[in-house]
């Protein structure tokens, strides 16, 4: 689970890491709005074993 916090609009998006598209970049499916986006997550090199992560990011 990826949690993306949009500070400007105070929106909290719940997302799921779907796959690694390149080093540090992941396809994230945003549950609440039903779209998939590519996000650069510098702290991650590859998907964690369980594919679950809580992550806060200005989106």
Per-residue pLDDT reduced to its tens digit, 20-53 = 778 778 888 887 788 888 888 777 766 665 554 4
Number of domains in the chain: 1
Determine if the pTM surpasses 0.85.
no
3-state helix vs strand vs coil in the chain, percent to 5: 0, 50, 50
**Residue 25 and residue 11: Cα distance in Å, rounded?**
22
As to burial, measured by CB atoms within 10 angstroms (0-12 exposed, 13-18 middle, 19+ buried), residue 23 is exposed
The parent domain of residue 43 ranges over 1-59
Q: How far is CA 44 from CA 18, 40, 41, 55, in A?
A: 14, 9, 6, 10
Other beta carbons less than 10 A from residue 4's beta carbon? 19
């Amino acid at each position: 689970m990826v949690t993306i916090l949009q500070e400007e609009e105070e929106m909290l998006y719940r997302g799921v890491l779907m796959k690694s598209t390149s080093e540090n970049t992941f396809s994230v499916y945003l549950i609440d709005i039903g779209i998939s986006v590519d996000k650069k997550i510098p702290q991650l090199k590859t998907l964690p074993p369980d594919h679950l992560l809580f992550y806060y990011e200005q989106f």
